[in-house]
A and B are shown apart, each in its own frame.
Chain A
Amino acid sequence: MKKVQFKSNYSQYFFLAPQLLILLIFLYWPIIQTFKDAFTMQDAFGFGSQFAGFDNFLFIFSDPSYFTAFKFTIIYSFVITFITGSIGLLLAVQANKVMHGKSAYKTLLIWPYAIAPAVVGVMANYFFSERYGLLHHLFNNLWGFNWYENVFDAYIYVIIAGSWKQISANFIFFLAGLQAIQKTVIEASIIDCKSNIRRFWTITFPLLMPTTFFLIIINITYAFFDTFGIIDTTTIGAPGSETKTLVYKAYIDGFKGLDLGSAGAQSIMMMIIVLVITIFQFRYIEGKIHYN
C-alpha cells in the first residue's frame, strides 16, 4: 500500500486548530481553573483569594460525609455495572435468537438509551412516589419500604433508576458483539457440545470479552459521572448523605454551598480515583483479554 504523505509541514496544524481550540477551551482551561480553585481559599464571588496549600484537601478528608459519598459511589458503580451488564447481555442473547421482528425488538430495547438521565430520574420519581408510585406500593407491601429514612431502600431506588437506561447501552454493544462472532465458530462448537449454556460460557462469552471489558469501563464512568441528574431528581442524596455520589457532592458544595475550594479539591480527588481505576483495568484485566 502506498503511504500518504502531506507535503506541507504547516497545513495540518491549520486543520487541527479548530479541534485543538475546542479542547483548550472546554477541557484544559477548566482543568487549570479547577487546580487553581483547589489550592486557593476564596469567597463565593472570588474575592479574598489566597493560597491555601492543601487546606481544602484536609477539609474534605475531615468531612465524614465525603467518605460516605466515596463508599456509595464505589458500591453504586459496582452494582450498576453488574446489573446493567448482566441484564443487557441476557437481553442481547435472547434478541439475537429471535428470527421474526428482530429490528422491532432491537429498536424497543434501544429506546431508553435516548432518554436524558434527569428525565429518567423524574420518571423513577413517579414509580417511587409514596402517594401514587407502583414500585413504592409493591415494595411497601413486601417489607415496609421507606426511602426517606432507610438507607437500603434508598439504594434500591437509585439503583433501579440508574440501571434502567444503561441496560440499553449494554444491550446494543453486546448485540453488536454477538453478531460479530463468526457463525462457523458457533457451528463447529455445536458438534462438540450439546449444552447451550455450556457452549455460551466456554465459547461465546470469552469471544465477547473485549465488549465486556469496554462496557465495564463505560458503565463505571456512567455510574460515576452521568448519574448526577438521576440523584438530583430522585433522592437528592438522602437519607443523610447516603446516596450522594462524589460528583453530586462536589456539585452541592460548589454550586449550592458556593465553596469552590472544596469542590475543586473534590474534583481533583475524583480525577485521581478515575485514573487509578482505569490504570488498574488496563493493567490487570486487559491482559487477560484476547482481541481476536
Chain B
Amino acid sequence: MKKLISIFVLLVSFAFTSNSYSKTEIHWWYGNSGFLGDVIIEIANRFNESQDEYMVIPTGKGSYEDNMAATIAAFRAGDQPHYSQVYDAGAAIMVAQVKNGVVIGFEEMAEKYGIDVDADNYIPGIKNFYADGDGKMIGVPFNSSTCLMYANMDILNEVGIEEVPKTYEEFEGMAQKILDAGYIPLLQSHSPWIWTENFFSRHNLLMTDGNNGYDAVPTKTLFADTEAFVYHWTKVKEWYEKGYYGYKGRAWGDNQAPFTNGEAAFWFGSAASFGGMKGVLPNFTTNPIPYWDSVTGGKEYPTFIGGAANWILNGHTEEEYKGLAKFIEFMGSPEMDLYYHNMTGYAAVTKGGIELAETINFYRASPYHKAVGDQLGLEGSTIPGGYRAGNWPQIREVIYENVEPMLNGDITVEKALSNMDKGAAKLLKQFAKTL
C-alpha cells in the first residue's frame, strides 16, 4: 500500500512539474553547498511562487572553484547558464570578460530590460568590488561576507578574560592564559584570504602594484616588500611554535571543528559561518578581525568584501533575460536582502535591506549579524576596496604552498614571502599576456 501511495505521489508531482515546461526557464548555477545551498534553493522557490511566467532553476556545482570551472566549460561548449555565482578571487577574470561578450554587465542589463533596482542601491563598497575600471557595476552583489573573529565566551570567562581582543597585541597578551587552561588560543580557516588579502585591507596597505590593479594591470605582489606583512607572519610563526596558533591544514572545516567543539578560544572565519555554529556552540560572539596597533597607530580600516556575486552570461533569448531581470529585481528587494542576511550571516548588500533592518530593530534581536556590517562600513581607507589581479585562484595556491614549509621551519618567513612574490609575479605576467 505504501508503495502505491508513493507512486501516486510521484505521479502527481510529475503532473505538477510538467506545468513548468510552459514557463520560461532561467538557469542559475551556484557554488555553495549544505545549508547555504539550501537557502539559494529557497530563494529560487520563493521567486517561482511569486509569479508564474518564469521559472528559476538553481543548480549547485560544488565549491566556488567548481562552479567557476563548470561555468567556463559550459560557455566554451555553448551551453552556459543565464546566471552564475562567481567568487571574489574570480572577479577580475569575469570583469575582463565583458569586452569578449561573455558577461553582460548589470548596468547594461538594467538599462535594456528595465531592472527596477539601481546600481546605486547597492552598498558602495560592495558595488565597487564588482565594478569595472569606470565604476560601472558588472557583477550583481549577492553573498557578501568578510572575515570575522569568532570568540568562545565560555572559555574567556573561565580563564578570566573580560574583553574580546581588538588588536593582535591584546591577543598576544592573553594567549598564554588560554593555553595554560588547556585550550587552543587561535585558529583560522583561510591563510590567503584572511591573513594575506585581508591583512592588507585591514591595515590600509597596498597588496599589488598598479594600485591593487585598479589603475594598471598588476605585475607583482608586495608581500616581502611590506614590512608589516613580514612582521605579521614572523609573529604567526612564533605563535605557532608556542602553541598560541594551531594550524589544522588547508581544509576550512578542519580548522573550524576544534572551535565548534569548544576546544579553541578564537577562530577567524567568514561572516557566513555563524549559521552552522548557532545552536551548536552555546556561547559565542562575532567580532571584527584584530589588527596590529603598532601598524595602523590605533586606526581601524575596513576589510575587503569576500564571498561572491552573480554574473549575467551572454547568449540567451530576450524573453529569458526579461525573466532574469525580474529575478534580479526580486533578489534586490529589501525583504529578500534581509531574509538572506538573516538566514546566512552574509552582509545585507542593498541600502533598502539595511534600512529595513534598522526599522525593525533587527540587530538588537540578533547581535551576531552586526559585526559584518560594522567592519565593512569602516571609513578612512586610502587603498581601493578590492584587488583586480588575474590568476588569483592560482596565487592563493602559491600562498598556501609557502605557508606550510614556513610554519614547519623548512624555510624562513622572508624566504616564504619572497617565494610567494615570485610565484605570483609569474602568474600575473601570464594573465597579462591573455588580456
Digitize B221-246: 1 where CB-to-A-CB distance is under 8 Å, 0 elsewhere. Answer: 00000000000000000000000000
Digitize A115-140: 1 where CB-to-B-CB distance is under 8 Å, 0 elsewhere. Answer: 00000000000000011000000000
Q: Are the C-beta atoms of B397 and A256 separated by less than 8 Å?
A: yes
Q: How far is the CB of B391 from chain A (nearest CB, A)?
A: 7
For residue B65, CB closer than 8 A to chain A, the reply is yes
Q: Are the C-beta atoms of B404 and A257 separated by less than 8 Å?
A: no
B400 surroundings in chain A (CB, below 8 A): 238
Q: How far is the CA of A65 from the CA of B397 in the complex (A)?
A: 11
Q: Are the C-beta atoms of A130 and B394 separated by less than 8 Å?
A: no
Please judge, given known A-B contacts A45-B72, A256-B69, whether A240 and B248 are in contact too, CB under 8 Å: no
Q: Are the C-beta atoms of B254 and A130 separated by less than 8 Å?
A: yes
A149 surroundings in chain B (CB, below 8 A): 247, 404, 407-408
B96 surroundings in chain A (CB, below 8 A): 43
Q: Are the C-beta atoms of A256 and B393 separated by less than 8 Å?
A: yes
Q: Are the C-beta atoms of B401 and A65 separated by less than 8 Å?
A: yes
Q: Are the C-beta atoms of A131 and B408 separated by less than 8 Å?
A: no
One of B34-42, B106-114, B427-435 at the interface: B427-435
Please judge, given known A-B contacts A44-B93, A45-B100, A48-B434, whether A255 and B69 are in contact too, CB under 8 Å: yes
Q: How far is the CB of B29 from chain A (nearest CB, A)?
A: 15
Q: Are the C-beta atoms of A259 and B430 separated by less than 8 Å?
A: yes
Q: Are the C-beta atoms of B257 and A131 separated by less than 8 Å?
A: yes
Name the CB-closest residue of B to A146: B408
Digitize A145-156: 1 where CB-to-B-CB distance is under 8 Å, 0 elsewhere. Answer: 001111000000
For residue A187, CB closer than 8 A to chain B, the reply is no
For residue A252, CB closer than 8 A to chain B, the reply is yes
B397 surroundings in chain A (CB, below 8 A): 252, 256-257
- Main secondary structure on A side of the interface with B: loop
Please judge, given known A-B contacts A63-B426, A238-B400, A239-B405, whether A259 and B394 are in contact too, CB under 8 Å: yes
Digitize B115-128: 1 where CB-to-A-CB distance is under 8 Å, 0 elsewhere. Answer: 00000000000000
Please judge, given known A-B contacts A258-B69, A258-B72, whether A45 and B249 are in contact too, CB under 8 Å: no
A148 surroundings in chain B (CB, below 8 A): 247-249, 404
A257 surroundings in chain B (CB, below 8 A): 391, 393-394, 397, 427
Q: Are the C-beta atoms of B434 and A258 separated by less than 8 Å?
A: no
A47 surroundings in chain B (CB, below 8 A): 97, 100, 102, 434
Q: How far is the CB of A187 from chain B (nearest CB, A)?
A: 56
Q: Are the C-beta atoms of A130 and B248 separated by less than 8 Å?
A: yes
Q: Are the C-beta atoms of A44 and B407 separated by less than 8 Å?
A: no
For residue A35, CB closer than 8 A to chain B, the reply is no
For residue B168, CB closer than 8 A to chain A, the reply is no
Name the CB-closest residue of A to B96: A43
B72 surroundings in chain A (CB, below 8 A): 44-45, 258
| Number of chain B residues whose Cβ lies closer than 8 Å to a Cβ of chain A | 42
For residue B76, CB closer than 8 A to chain A, the reply is yes
A256 surroundings in chain B (CB, below 8 A): 65, 69, 393-394, 397
For residue B365, CB closer than 8 A to chain A, the reply is no
Q: How far is the CA of A240 from the CA of B251 in the complex (A)?
A: 14
B404 surroundings in chain A (CB, below 8 A): 148-149, 238-240
Name the CB-closest residue of B to A131: B257
A 250-292 contacts with B by CB, 8 A: 252-253, 255-259, 261-262
Q: How far is the CA of A142 from the CA of B72 in the complex (A)?
A: 47
Q: How far is the CB of B411 from chain A (nearest CB, A)?
A: 9
A259 surroundings in chain B (CB, below 8 A): 391, 394, 427, 430
Q: Are the C-beta atoms of B250 and A240 separated by less than 8 Å?
A: no
Q: How far is the CB of A145 from chain B (nearest CB, A)?
A: 13
Q: How far is the CB of B389 from chain A (nearest CB, A)?
A: 13
Q: How far is the CA of A117 from the CA of B48 in the complex (A)?
A: 40
Name the CB-closest residue of B to A261: B430
Q: How far is the CA of A177 from the CA of B23 in the complex (A)?
A: 62
For residue A206, CB closer than 8 A to chain B, the reply is no
For residue B413, CB closer than 8 A to chain A, the reply is no
A44 surroundings in chain B (CB, below 8 A): 72, 93
Q: Are the C-beta atoms of B76 and A45 separated by less than 8 Å?
A: yes
For residue B75, CB closer than 8 A to chain A, the reply is yes
Q: How far is the CA of A241 from the CA of B427 in the complex (A)?
A: 17
B251 surroundings in chain A (CB, below 8 A): 236
A 178-225 contacts with B by CB, 8 A: none
Q: How far is the CA of A213 from the CA of B57 in the complex (A)?
A: 52
Q: How far is the CB of A192 from chain B (nearest CB, A)?
A: 56
Q: How far is the CA of A285 from the CA of B72 in the complex (A)?
A: 45
Q: Are the C-beta atoms of B75 and A150 separated by less than 8 Å?
A: no
For residue B151, CB closer than 8 A to chain A, the reply is no
Q: Are the C-beta atoms of A42 and B69 separated by less than 8 Å?
A: no
Q: How far is the CA of A257 from the CA of B251 in the complex (A)?
A: 18
Which one, A43, A236, A252, contacts B93 given CB within 8 A? A43
Q: Are the C-beta atoms of A236 and B250 separated by less than 8 Å?
A: yes
Q: How far is the CA of A256 from the CA of B393 in the complex (A)?
A: 7
Q: How far is the CB of B311 from chain A (nearest CB, A)?
A: 12
For residue A41, CB closer than 8 A to chain B, the reply is yes
Q: How far is the CA of A47 from the CA of B401 in the complex (A)?
A: 29
10 A-B residue contacts at CB 8 Å?
Answer: A43-B434, A47-B100, A63-B423, A63-B426, A148-B248, A149-B247, A239-B405, A240-B405, A256-B393, A257-B393
Besides A45-B76, A149-B407, 20 other A-B contacts (C-beta < 8 A) = A41-B433, A41-B434, A43-B435, A45-B102, A48-B434, A65-B398, A130-B254, A131-B261, A148-B248, A148-B404, A238-B250, A238-B404, A239-B405, A240-B410, A255-B69, A256-B397, A257-B393, A257-B427, A258-B69, A258-B393
What 3 A-B pairs have minimum CB-CB distances, sorted nearest first? A257-B394, A239-B404, A43-B434
